[in-house]
């Protein structure tokens, strides 16, 4: 019984799937177990996408979505980049500034939604367009031919290239496969999951997502909660944006331009409901990792573009339906027992 | 009693129409008439057809509370199929078009079948098929631009009756048929019922699985129409086709008043919303606007449109104001 | 893919497996394959592989490069999705001891000619995009009879290369001393053919009468402009970019005046050799990070049939220049 | 009298509960058959099995002597079974007429014939004698009106077997009597009707035979109702003897400052010169017919709809209540909605979270972390106090029986321990025992000093618990009566006050 329960948990199924896929690809081509070129970058990118996934998850919890998640990331990268280039701030100072910018954008978005009572989809879509314009305009007008902020504050490359192996307590160092970027990601994961599973705020957000009317009639300040959700979303998007910039090496308008769909993929694969009311924080990480493993696994097999996406999509669907079939299976068993 | 209901349910459409008219007139005046020139109107209307078609394609899936993220690649692939068949296997146009429509419909049907069979949420399924089709699109056209097919097709795209491009007429007729389907046929109503309240629909003898399947298949068919329009209105087909469809497909219906939660449709709203967005393109060319400015203004237009309609709706719904929904 | 004849051939080229990694799928890069294959056949390079799975996303692009590295490729010819980011990627590859060449575009954020040492790659073999755009602009201005209104159609506005192109066009216009006016520059229409066609149609509808010439420095706009001008029958001179069959046909049929082609084949061919030479430690760059122009050529009705030979010849010259001037070999 | 529907040894289990255990029922044509039982006894489950919503684990089902097993609602509809389910099953975006004809819309050349549709729907509503605007979208109707639409929807199918699961739960006397006329007519036409209700007066008025379920077992099977007294039936349902409790009048101090007072209030919805004052520890009843505007008045007070005139006083001082959050935390006012599914419950949350939602502030430890122990204790406390039938506090609200859902939605407000509680139709779909305990509870709470406004369309309930009864009609008060707690006289005077205006 307990055993079955465990297997009903989508996260467990996903994790097993991901590990299975990982081993499968590794056995097909041992190059896939290469730490420097596969595992490390995989986890590094996974960390970044997870944080952005969490940004999406925060609004999904109240049944909204944030189409501007990528552009918010771009803005906070822009702010941080500018602060390094023009005001010579330190890495941390700039980062804080950037994240604040993200939070501010989230707040504005939330405020517009609450005040205008307009569908979050439209507001964030509009926000996305507006920010796209803004970001482009700023880079074009202020950075001339470079179209980017290229000043790297001290310690920026550290985050890109260092692993826990460089992070020692006395003689014991972390494994070389774990990138530094995991640290902020894990930090966010813990915080967000703590908030949703343990705190009053989280409960109120989920209630708002589960049944807005009931939440409102139960005295939950739903409008504030909508604001909160979007502020969190903006903040996390901001962090994600910085992680992207630090990994890639400069602060450009292209940051975040490709994360809109991936930002949904992680949470939704993990088991977050688009309708709101239920979130899967850890699932977001696992879901994200799974897609990355599949993609990189395939391309290490030397599969070219003409097959990569086809295979990627097929494996993704297959993997998921496996999870689904197994779930049906157990539920049938349960019914059979009676 | 009747009239208010009529308006209450069409507030968004109404205010969109107002915005459209205002925008249109503004362009006519500021371009001192150029916009009314045959060429301008032609261009305006021609490239209005595709947004309408893909908007409707997204709408039919939204109305069962799901999404179709594969619109772009579905369109891209069926365009590619048609182009390749005509160019490399010189099939007659009509046959190619038929196959194009059919393949798009089939892709939709597969989406639907997968959603029903796996019971996974449509979002994930269509994201999966999106990726797969992206691959097929590349396989079909690689990085080339295919245009070695009978020029009569692009010419058809340029022909028109009384200034109305045929392809726009096609789109409009499609829209009308679709609204008949939803308002007058049992299948249509059942699909909507599923979207409105699946449990109730089920207890009233509606098969939700069938509705889901139908909605996705129909979405495919509409994408097929969009593809035919596309191939008729472009100099050639390459793998970039459909790349900008996704957001557009959502923007039109949702600005047009369709709820993401399902159960609603707004065909006129979708059409007019597409028109409003199209006006922005024109403005861009007219005033040689910087794209960043365009993006900004699109954002603002969208917001103000919906805010206005919301404001109107709330004013008229005072009598039996329900709960203020934050969707 | 293609693999060298003698794996451990005398000069050690056989041990070098060159990865040619463009930013994503684009017609421009296709000749890299043939260029690379030619190098393999001619110099016994261990092999070349072409990987376009970057999909114009710097993160995916890096992943693609890593995948190649994991598979044992040890020399990299790369087109960076983001010019300002790619240098970081290069640095990473160098740190792992690979030979790295920046092909078809140079790292951005500084003047590559003045400060080659800032280039983390061993060298940059690329068209001077600014120069190419300048060439195209001057050509179309000539066609316009030295006066009138010019329109510039191009790609992503926040891309260093695009900005270089815009500067190139502006320079050409400046040289006319005000006789030619830049009516408008339409950016961000390279993402897909539909947007490009739509934009061109709207442009010609709104301003067609005032326009005398169009210069396009991106692929989809080029295709769209070609079609737009031919269908509206407006007396507009067009200079396109690259040598997609569609565009060459348009030149032959006189719909457009010409196109500016670059030298991707040469990049693949010369690039593969240089990378092998560096990878096998046979040669070293005299000035690490050196920038070399892979050349850009104006193609018109007159030379549409012969330009390719010219281009191949140029490539051989560039190769010779590497062997004799830019590198010292044991 | 041929038997239309014969159910033998039907069993059904859900994870954690045996909902039905070898239940037998014999439904004969030309009779109205009462299906009785406490909340969670299995009535709805049985009906869902008959209509093919659930598949029985075992047992057999005969329709007109033919062995049947329905796998989905469509099949049962085809073999002439119509049903009004306990939960409302309407498409919110569709018009009234469309919902009524949802099963099989009239067609002409394959497309829907609107004229015919309107005619059918109009006819259905007329035979029932309800008037609701046919073109109104259902989402704009009040709960009671939706219920009427549901009934009409079932009747248009002119089936031979009609199953009614608590059809009268949320409608008032006048509609009920109209419904009964129809039922009588159907019966005389030889249809077989299964009638579920917790209002025994009704049952005795309309039913001929009776089956009683207790914890999924049919303890009384298809017997003539006349042979049993109301008390006996109740005892069968409850499983032990339930003492009749005589309602005694309470005394309320009307000189104290009212905890809440309305001075000729006007709302954007059309309420006109509404004045009332609620005194400490008073139970103030608000009676009215469907759509009288009671719920909306309550909601307006709590800031959901615009107040356009007059003033609200809380403890003697004029206030402006902006929303439910303020109402709860600042003025300590609670509102138990009449509409549990849409507004009362988080269906996909466990019972525990549903109850604790109003008191999150009270069950926190450091860092505003919810203390799961406290949460669970409070949940348990009310599950016990109201006898909510659950497997454990983590059962999803979705899977509770109708009445138990109602209890959960009330519990969260009891837990909130407010000073003023507005209760809207609290005993809709609640069984006799629980109803009695609800009434005791309300009186108890009032004695403890809680002031209560009770909105109910159940006259007996009004008379049983209210100290004073306000009668509303068309968004106006038309009567203000002291409650003598004598059903006969009170009902007469209330009806008079409604007629009079
Ligand atoms: N889908 C379900 N999953 C799990 N348990 C269920 C489900 N539906 C009903 N139950 C349980 O079955 C039992 C019978 O429920 P049912 O709805 O038939 O009661 P009922 O007689 O209709 O009560 P009420 O008078 O409150 O409507 C209850 O204990 C309920 O919790
Ligand atoms: N004749 C009518 N036709 C249509 N809608 C009506 C009619 N009368 C009232 N309504 C609707 O009924 C609702 C008011 O009902 P409300 O719930 O406030 O009244 P109530 O006294 O609580 O009665 P109940 O709740 O039992 O319906 C409003 O939504 C109003 O639009
Ligand atoms: Mg029930
Ligand atoms: Mg009410």
Q: In chain A, what are the domain boundaries?
A: 36-258
D398 touches chain B (CB under 8 A): no
**D20 assigned to some structural domain:** yes
Nearest-ligand number for the alpha carbon of D471? 2
How many angstroms separate the CA of residue A12 from the nearest CA in chain C? 27
Looking at the structure, tell me whether residues D218 and D328 fall in a common domain: no
Average pLDDT, chain D: 89
Q: Is D403 in the pocket of ligand 1 (CB under 6 A)?
A: yes
pLDDT at A267 over 90: yes
Taking residue C208's Cβ as centre, other Cβ atoms within 10 Å add up to 19
Task: Fill in the DSSP letter of residue C305.
Answer: T
Q: Is residue D251 part of a domain?
A: no
Higher pLDDT, C278 or D292: C278
Domain that holds residue D120: 3-238
Q: What percent of chain C has pLDDT over 70?
A: 97
Task: Name the residue of chain A whose CA is nearest to C161's CA.
Answer: A145
pLDDT digits (tens, 9 = 90+) for B303-317: 666 666 566 556 555
Tokens 């190619």, residue?
Answer: B96
Residue B154 to residue C177: CA distance in whole angstroms: 41
Q: How many residues does chain A have?
A: 338
pLDDT value for B239: 92
Of D361, D367, D412, the CB nearest to A218: D412
Higher pLDDT, D77 or A320: D77
Q: Which ligand is nearest to the CA of D86?
A: 3
Q: Which comes out higher in pLDDT, residue A6 or C59? A: C59
**Chain A residue with minimum CA distance to B307:** A116
Distance D43 CA to ligand 3 centre (A): 6
pLDDT over 70 (residue B52): yes
With contact defined as beta carbons under 8 Å apart, do C258 and C251 qualify?
Answer: yes
Residues 6+ apart with CB under 8 A from A190: none
Q: Which residues of C touch B47 (CB under 8 A)?
A: 197-198, 201-202
Residue in C71, C78, C96, C159 to test binding to A, most A beta-carbons within 10 Å: C71
Is residue D231 located within the same domain as residue D270?
A: no
SS3 sequence of chain B: CHHHHHHHCCHHHHHHHHHHHHHHHHHHHHCCCHHHCHHHHHHHHHCCHHHHHHHHHHHHHHCCCCCCCCHHHHHHHHHHHHHHHHHHCCCCHHHHHHHHHHHHHHHHHHHHHHHHHHCCCHHHHHHHHHHHHHHHHHHHHCCCCECCCCCHHHHHHHCEECCEEHHHHHHHHHHHHHHHHHHHCHHHHHHHHHHHCHHHHHHCCCCHHHHHHHHHHHHHHHHHHHHHHHHHHCCCECCCCCCCHHHHHHHHHHHCCCCCCCCCCCHHHHHHHHHHHHHHHHHHHHCCCCHHHHHHHHHHHHHHHHHHHHHHHHHHCCCCCCCCCCC
Look up residue D307 and give its two tokens: 């107040």
Within 8 A by CB and 6+ apart from A30, the residues are none
Q: What is the pLDDT of residues D3-36, one digit of tens each?
A: 789 999 999 999 888 999 999 999 999 999 999 9
**Is the C-beta atom of D356 inside 6 A of ligand 1?**
no
Q: Which residues of B touch C183 (CB under 8 A)?
A: 288
Counting one residue from chain B and one from chain D, the pairs whose CB atoms sit within 8 A come to 84
3-state secondary structure of A200: helix
Give the domain-ending residue among D238, D273, D305: D238
Predicted pLDDT of residue D244: 64
Q: Which chains touch B (3 or more CB pairs under 8 A)?
A: A, C, D
pLDDT of A98 > 60? The answer is yes
CB contact under 8 A, C52 and A305: yes
Q: How remote is the CA of residue A8 from the centroid of ligand 3, in Å?
A: 29
Give the nearest chain A residue to D324 (CA atoms): A219
pLDDT on residue C157: 85
Domain check: are D314 and D227 in the same one?
A: no
Q: Is residue A11 a contact partner of residue A280, using CB atoms and an 8 Å limit?
A: yes
User: Using CB atoms, which residue from B39, B143, B235 is nearest to C205?
Assistant: B39
Chain A within 8 Å of C255 (Cβ-Cβ)? no
**Separation between Cα atoms, residue C222 and residue C155, nearest integer Å:** 11
Q: Are residues D164 and D273 in the same domain?
A: no
Mutation test residue for ligand 2: of D133, D290, D337, D470, the one with most atoms within 8 Å of CB: D290
Taking an 8 Å cut-off on Cβ atoms, the answer to whether B204 and D89 are in contact is yes
Highest mean pLDDT among A235-244, D53-62, D446-455: A235-244
What are the pLDDT digits (tens) for A279-334? Answer: 999 999 999 999 999 999 999 999 999 899 999 999 888 877 876 666 666 555 44
- A62-71, A191-200, B268-277, B282-291, range with the lowest pLDDT: B282-291
Number of domains observed in the structure of chain D = 2
- Band (D347; pLDDT cuts 50, 70, 90): very high
- Residue from the list A113, A116, A137 with its beta carbon closest to the beta carbon of B292: A137
Cβ neighbours of D369 (radius 10 Å): 16
Q: Are strands D260-267 and D81-84 parallel, antiparallel or unpaired?
A: unpaired
Q: Each residue of A142-158: b (16+ CB within 10 Å) or e?
A: ebebbbbbbbbbeebee
Max Cα–Cα distance, chain A, nearest Å: 72
| Spacing of C-alpha A258 from chain mean position | 12
**Backbone φ/ψ region at D40: left (φ over 0), alpha (ψ -120 to 50), beta:** left
Asked if pLDDT for residue C2 goes beyond 50, the answer is no
For residues B176 and C231, give the distance between their C-alpha atoms in angstroms, rounded to a whole number.
31
Give the ligand 2 atom nearest the CA of D132.
3
- Residue D294 CA to ligand 4 centre (angstroms): 6
Provide φ and ψ at A132, rounded to 5°: -50, -50
Chains that touch A (3 or more CB pairs under 8 A): B, C, D
- In angstroms, rounded to a whole number, what is the distance separating the alpha carbons of residues A316 and A262? 13
C320 phi and psi angles, rounded to 5 deg: -55, -45
Strand partners, C101: C77, C123
3-state secondary structure of C328: strand
pLDDT, mean over chain C: 92
Do D200 and D294 lie in a common domain? no
pLDDT value of residue C95: 93
Q: Are residues D172 and D302 in the same domain?
A: no
The more confidently predicted of residues A105 and D246 is A105
Would residue D476 count as lying in a domain?
A: yes
Bridge partners, residue A280, by sequence: none
pLDDT above 90 for A3: no
CA D406 – CA C132 distance, rounded (Å): 76
Q: D219 and D310: one domain?
A: no
Q: Cα of D400 to ligand 1 centre, how many Å?
A: 5
**Closest CA relative to residue B108, chosen from B195, B222, B190:** B222
Interface predicted TM-score (ipTM) over 0.85: yes
Question: For D190-199, how does the pLDDT look when each residue is reduced to its tens digit (9 = 90+)?
Answer: 999 999 998 8
A321 φ, ψ (degrees, to nearest 5): -65, -30
Residue B27 token pair? 């362009």
pLDDT higher than threshold 60 for residue B201: yes
**Both tokens assigned to B220:** 């495919």
The whole-chain average pLDDT of chain A stands at 89
- Residue B309, pLDDT score: 59
The pocket around ligand 2, CB under 6 angstroms, is made up of B 320; D 132-133, 141-145, 288, 290-296, 338, 457
Q: What pLDDT is attached to residue A6?
A: 62
pLDDT in tens, A137-167: 899 888 877 889 999 999 888 888 888 888 7
CB pairs under 8 A between A and D: 72
Mark yes or no for CB contact B193/D74 under 8 Å: no
Q: Do B180 and D111 touch (CB under 8 A)?
A: yes
Mean pLDDT calculated for residue range D335-350:
91
Pairs of CB atoms within 8 A across A/C: 115
Contacts of C227 in chain B (CB under 8 A): 234-236
Tell me: pLDDT of C6 over 90: no
For residue D390, which atom of ligand 1 is closest to its CA?
31
Residue ranges of A 63-92 with Cβ closer than 8 A to chain B: 63, 67
- Which of A29, A37, A137 is most worth mutating to test chain C (most C CB atoms within 10 A of its CB)? A37
B8 C-alpha to ligand 2 centroid (Å):
18
Cβ distance of B207 and D112 shorter than 8 Å = no
Residues C277-299, mean pLDDT to the nearest whole number: 94
Distance (Å) from the C-alpha of residue D384 to the closest C-alpha of chain A? Answer: 22
- As a whole number, mean pLDDT of residues C220-244 equals 92
pLDDT at C303: 93
Q: Examine the domain organization and report whether D90 and D157 are in the same domain.
A: yes
Question: Is A48 within 8 Å of C71 when comparing Cβ atoms?
Answer: no
pLDDT higher than threshold 50 for residue C18: yes
Does C27 contact B144 at a Cβ distance shorter than 8 Å?
Answer: yes
D188, part of any domain: yes
CA of D345 to the centre of ligand 4 (A): 17
Does D215 share its domain with D353?
Answer: no
D322 and D202, same structural domain? no
Instruction: Look at residue C160 in the predicted model and tell me its pLDDT.
Output: 83
Q: End-to-end CA distance of chain B, in Å?
A: 27
Which residues are bridge partners to D390 per DSSP?
none
pLDDT, tens digit (0-9, with 9 covering 90-100), for C116-134:
999 999 999 999 889 999 9
Does ligand 1 lie within 6 Å of residue D197's CB atom? no
Map residue C228 onto helix, strand or coil. Answer: helix
Residue identifier of the C-alpha nearest atom 22 of ligand 1:
D44
Decide if pLDDT at B296 tops 80: no
To the nearest whole Å, the CA of C74 is away from the closest chain A CA by 12
Between chain B and chain A, are at least 3 CB pairs below 8 A? yes
Q: Which two tokens stand for residue B197?
A: 């309240």
How far is D288 from D427, CA to CA, in rounded Å? 16
Residues in contact with D189: Cβ distance below 8 Å, sequence separation at least 6, in sequence order? none
Stretch A117-127: mean pLDDT: 86
In a domain, D221, yes or no: yes
B138 touches chain A (CB under 8 A): yes
How confident is residue B295, by pLDDT bands cut at 50, 70 and 90?
confident
Whether residue D418 is found in the same domain as residue D277: yes
The domain that holds D401 is classified in CATH as 3.40.50.300
Query: Are chains B and C in touch, 3+ Cβ pairs below 8 Å?
Result: yes
> Which residue's CA is the closest to the ligand 2 atom numbered 26?
D290
Asked if chain C contacts chain D via 3 or more Cβ pairs within 8 Å, the reply is no
**Whole-angstrom distance, CA of residue C188 vs CA of residue A141:** 16
Please list the alpha-helical segments (H only) found in D189-248.
200-206, 230-238
DSSP letter at C178 equals T
Mutate to test the interface with A, among C63, C121, C169, C190 (most CBs of A within 10 A): C63
CA distance D434 to D441: 10
The ligand minimizing its distance to the Cα of D458 is 2
Domain assignment present for D375: yes
3 state SS of C19: strand
Atom of ligand 1 nearest to the CA of D47: 18
Same domain, D190 and D279: no
Judge contact between C131 and C216, C-beta under 8 A. Answer: no
CB D303 within 8 A of CB A217: no
């Amino acid at each position: 019984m307990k055993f079955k329960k465990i297997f009903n948990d989508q996260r467990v199924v996903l994790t097993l799937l991901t590990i299975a896929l990982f081993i499968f690809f590794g056995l097909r081509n041992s190059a896939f177990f290469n730490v420097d070129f596969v595992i490390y970058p995989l986890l590094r990118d996974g960390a970044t996408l997870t944080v952005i996934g969490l940004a999406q998850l925060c609004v999904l919890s109240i049944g909204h979505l944030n189409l501007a998640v990528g552009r918010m990331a771009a803005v906070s990268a822009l702010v941080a980049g500018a602060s390094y280039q023009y005001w010579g701030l330190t890495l941390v100072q700039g980062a804080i500034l950037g994240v604040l910018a993200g939070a501010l954008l989230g707040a504005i978005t939330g405020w517009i939604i609450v005040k205008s009572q307009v569908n979050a989809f439209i507001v964030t879509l509009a926000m996305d367009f507006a920010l796209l314009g803004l970001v482009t305009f700023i880079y074009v007008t202020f950075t001339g031919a470079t179209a980017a902020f290229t000043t790297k504050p001290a310690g920026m490359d550290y985050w890109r290239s260092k692993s826990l192996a460089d992070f020692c307590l006395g003689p014991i160092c972390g494994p070389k496969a774990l990138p530094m970027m995991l640290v902020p990601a894990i930090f966010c994961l813990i915080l967000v999951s703590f908030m949703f599973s343990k705190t009053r705020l989280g409960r109120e957000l989920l209630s708002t997502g589960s049944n807005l009317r009931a939440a409102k009639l139960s005295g939950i300040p739903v409008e504030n909660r909508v604001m909160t959700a979007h502020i969190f979303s903006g903040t996390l998007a901001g962090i994600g944006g910085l992680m992207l910039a630090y990994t890639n090496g400069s602060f450009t308008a292209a940051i975040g331009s490709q994360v809109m769909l991936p930002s949904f993929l992680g949470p939704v694969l993990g088991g977050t409901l688009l309708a709101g009311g239920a979130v899967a924080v850890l699932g977001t990480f696992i879901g994200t990792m799974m897609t990355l493993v599949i993609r990189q696994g395939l391309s290490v097999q030397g599969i070219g573009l003409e097959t990569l996406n086809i295979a990627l999509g097929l494996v993704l669907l297959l993997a998921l339906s496996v999870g689904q079939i197994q779930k049906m299976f157990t539920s049938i068993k349960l019914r059979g027992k009676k | 009693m009747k009239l208010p209901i009529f308006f209450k349910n069409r507030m968004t459409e109404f205010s969109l129409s107002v915005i459209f008219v205002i925008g249109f007139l503004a362009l006519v005046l500021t371009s001192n008439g150029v916009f009314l020139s045959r060429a301008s109107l032609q261009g305006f209307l021609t490239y209005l057809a595709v947004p309408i078609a893909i908007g409707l394609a997204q709408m039919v899936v939204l109305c069962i509370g799901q999404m179709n993220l594969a619109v772009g690649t579905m369109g891209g692939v069926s365009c590619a199929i048609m182009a390749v068949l005509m160019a490399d296997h010189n099939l007659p146009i009509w046959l190619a078009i038929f196959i194009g429509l059919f393949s798009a419909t089939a892709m939709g049907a597969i989406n639907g079948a997968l959603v029903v069979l796996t019971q996974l949420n449509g979002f994930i399924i269509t994201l999966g098929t999106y990726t797969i089709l992206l691959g097929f699109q590349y396989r079909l056209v690689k990085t080339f631009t295919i245009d070695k097919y009978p020029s009569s097709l692009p010419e058809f795209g340029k022909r028109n009756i009384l200034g109305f491009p045929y392809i726009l007429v096609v789109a409009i007729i499609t829209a009308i048929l679709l609204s008949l389907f939803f308002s007058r046929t049992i299948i249509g109503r059942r699909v909507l019922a599923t979207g409105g309240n699946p449990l109730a629909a089920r207890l009233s003898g509606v098969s939700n699985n069938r509705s889901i399947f139908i909605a996705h298949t129909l979405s495919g068919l509409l994408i097929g129409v969009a593809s035919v329009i596309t191939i008729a209105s472009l100099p050639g087909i390459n793998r970039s086709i459909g790349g900008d469809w996704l957001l557009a497909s959502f923007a039109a219906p949702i600005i047009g008043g369709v709820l993401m939660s399902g159960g609603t449709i707004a065909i006129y709203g979708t059409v007019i919303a597409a028109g409003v967005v199209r006006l922005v393109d024109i403005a861009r060319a007219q005033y040689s606007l910087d794209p960043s400015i365009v993006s900004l203004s699109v954002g603002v237009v969208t917001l103000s449109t919906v805010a206005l309609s919301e404001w109107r709706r709330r004013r008229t719904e005072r009598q039996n104001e329900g709960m203020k929904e934050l969707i | 893919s293609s693999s060298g004849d003698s794996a451990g051939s005398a000069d050690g080229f056989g041990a070098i497996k060159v990865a040619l990694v463009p930013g994503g799928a684009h017609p421009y890069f296709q000749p890299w394959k043939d260029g690379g294959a030619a190098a393999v056949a001619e110099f016994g390079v261990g092999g070349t592989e072409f990987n376009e799975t970057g999909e114009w996303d710097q993160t995916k692009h890096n992943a693609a490069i890593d995948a190649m590295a994991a598979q044992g490729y040890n020399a990299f010819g790369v087109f960076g999705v983001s010019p300002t980011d790619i240098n970081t990627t290069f640095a990473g590859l160098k740190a792992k001891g690979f030979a790295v060449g920046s092909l078809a575009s140079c790292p951005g954020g500084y003047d590559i000619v003045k400060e080659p040492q800032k280039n983390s790659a061993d060298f940059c073999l690329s068209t001077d995009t600014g120069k190419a755009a300048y060439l195209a602009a001057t050509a179309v201005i000539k066609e316009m009879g030295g006066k009138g209104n010019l329109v510039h159609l191009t790609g992503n506005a926040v891309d260093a290369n695009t900005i270089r192109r815009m500067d190139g066009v502006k320079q050409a216009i400046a040289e006319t001393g005000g006789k030619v006016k830049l009516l408008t520059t339409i950016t961000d229409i390279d993402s897909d053919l539909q947007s490009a066609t739509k934009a061109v149609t709207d442009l010609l509808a709104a301003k067609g009468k005032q326009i005398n010439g169009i210069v396009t420095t991106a692929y989809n706009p080029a295709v769209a402009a070609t079609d737009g001008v031919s269908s509206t029958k407006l007396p507009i001179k067009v200079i396109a970019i690259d040598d997609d069959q569609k565009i060459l046909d348009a030149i032959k049929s006189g719909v457009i005046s010409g196109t500016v082609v670059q030298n991707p084949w040469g990049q693949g061919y010369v690039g593969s050799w240089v990378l092998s030479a560096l990878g096998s430690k046979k040669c070293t760059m005299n000035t690490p990070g050196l920038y070399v122009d892979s050349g850009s050529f104006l193609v018109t009705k007159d030379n549409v049939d012969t330009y390719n030979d010219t281009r191949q010849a140029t490539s051989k010259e560039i190769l010779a220049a590497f062997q004799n001037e830019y590198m010292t070999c044991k | 009298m041929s038997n239309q529907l014969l159910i033998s040894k039907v069993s059904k289990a859900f994870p954690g509960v045996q909902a039905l255990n070898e239940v037998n029922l014999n439904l004969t044509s030309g009779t109205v058959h009462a299906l009785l039982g406490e909340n969670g006894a299995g009535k709805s489950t049985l009906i869902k099995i008959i209509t093919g919503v659930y598949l029985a684990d075992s047992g057999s089902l005969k329709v007109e002597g033919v062995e049947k097993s329905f796998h989905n609602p469509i099949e049962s509809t085809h073999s002439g079974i119509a049903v009004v389910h306990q939960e409302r099953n309407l498409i919110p975006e569709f018009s009234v007429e469309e919902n009524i004809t949802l099963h099989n819309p009239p067609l002409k050349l394959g497309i829907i014939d609107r004229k015919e549709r309107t005619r059918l729907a109009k006819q259905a509503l007329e035979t029932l004698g309800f008037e609701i605007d046919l073109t109104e979208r259902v989402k704009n109707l009040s709960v009671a009106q939706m219920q009427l639409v549901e009934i009409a929807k079932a009747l248009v199918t002119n089936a031979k077997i009609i199953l009614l699961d608590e059809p009268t739960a949320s409608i008032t006397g006048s509609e009920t009597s109209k419904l009964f006329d129809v039922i009588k007519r159907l019966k005389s036409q030889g249809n077989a009707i299964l009638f579920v209700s917790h209002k025994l007066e009704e049952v005795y008025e309309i039913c001929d035979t009776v089956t009683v379920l207790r914890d999924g077992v049919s303890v009384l099977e298809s017997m003539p109702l006349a042979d049993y007294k109301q008390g006996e039936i109740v005892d069968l349902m409850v499983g032990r003897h339930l003492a009749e409790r005589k309602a005694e009048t309470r005394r309320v101090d009307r000189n104290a400052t009212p905890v809440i007072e309305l001075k000729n209030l006007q709302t954007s919805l059309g309420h006109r010169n509404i004045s009332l004052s609620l005194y400490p520890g008073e139970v103030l009843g608000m009676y009215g017919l469907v759509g009288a505007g009671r719920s909306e008045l309550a909601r307006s007070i709590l800031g959901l709809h615009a107040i356009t005139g007059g003033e609200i006083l809380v403890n003697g001082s004029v206030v402006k209540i902006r929303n439910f959050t303020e109402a709860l935390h600042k003025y300590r006012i609670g509102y138990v909605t009449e509409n549990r599914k849409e507004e009362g419950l988080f269906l996909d949350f466990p019972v525990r979270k549903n109850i604790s939602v109003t008191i999150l502030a009270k069950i926190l430890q450091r860092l505003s972390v919810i203390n799961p122990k406290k949460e669970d204790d409070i949940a348990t406390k009310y599950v016990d106090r109201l006898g909510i039938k659950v497997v454990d506090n983590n059962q999803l609200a979705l899977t509770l029986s109708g009445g138990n859902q109602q209890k959960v939605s009330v519990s969260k407000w009891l837990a909130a321990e407010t000073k003023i509680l507005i209760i809207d139709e609290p005993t809709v779909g609640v069984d006799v025992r629980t109803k009695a305990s609800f009434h005791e509870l309300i009186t108890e709470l009032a004695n403890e000093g809680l002031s209560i406004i009770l909105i109910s369309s159940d006259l007996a309930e009004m008379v049983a618990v209210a100290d004073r009864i306000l009668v509303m009609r068309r968004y106006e008060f038309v009567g203000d009566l002291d409650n003598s707690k004598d059903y006969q006289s009170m009902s007469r005077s209330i009806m008079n006050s409604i007629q009079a205006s």
